[in-house]
Amino acid sequence: MCEVFAGQDPHRYALTTRRLRINGQSTSIRLENAFWDILDQISTHDGVSTPAFISQLHSEVLILRGEPQNFTSLLRTACLVFMASGTRPQAAQLAAE
């Protein structure tokens, strides 16, 4: 069973840093490529750019809960929620199976 996980393309878990603005402030976020791919899918699904989606998510979290202690972890779990919701594009569903 671990072969499925261990055998994945190393590019998926390589880290990439993207510079963007969150609510007007310049910052950088470092995530694994697999999570960036999902965030790009979510953004496309919502009809916005990835930086716009991330900024909106940050704004909503601030309103609901205050400043998140670990925003990158919140982004990763948002990806998991999206994948579990079944709202991802059909091509992404087939690729994940």
Q: How confident is the model at residue 91 (pLDDT cuts 50, 70, 90)?
A: very low
Residues 32, 15 contacting (CB under 8 angstroms): yes
Query: Which of the 8 DSSP states describes residue 26?
Result: E
Q: Torsions phi, psi of 30, nearest 5? A: -115, 120
Domain 11-84 class, CATH top level? mainly alpha
pLDDT 10s digits, 15-67: 999 999 998 899 999 999 999 999 999 999 999 999 999 999 999 999 999 99
**pLDDT at residue 88 is higher than 90:** no
Tell me which residue of 78, 19, 77 sits closest to 51, measured CA to CA: 19
Q: Where are the domains of the chain?
A: 11-84
Q: Torsions phi, psi of 15, nearest 5? A: -85, 140
The structure's pTM equals 0.84
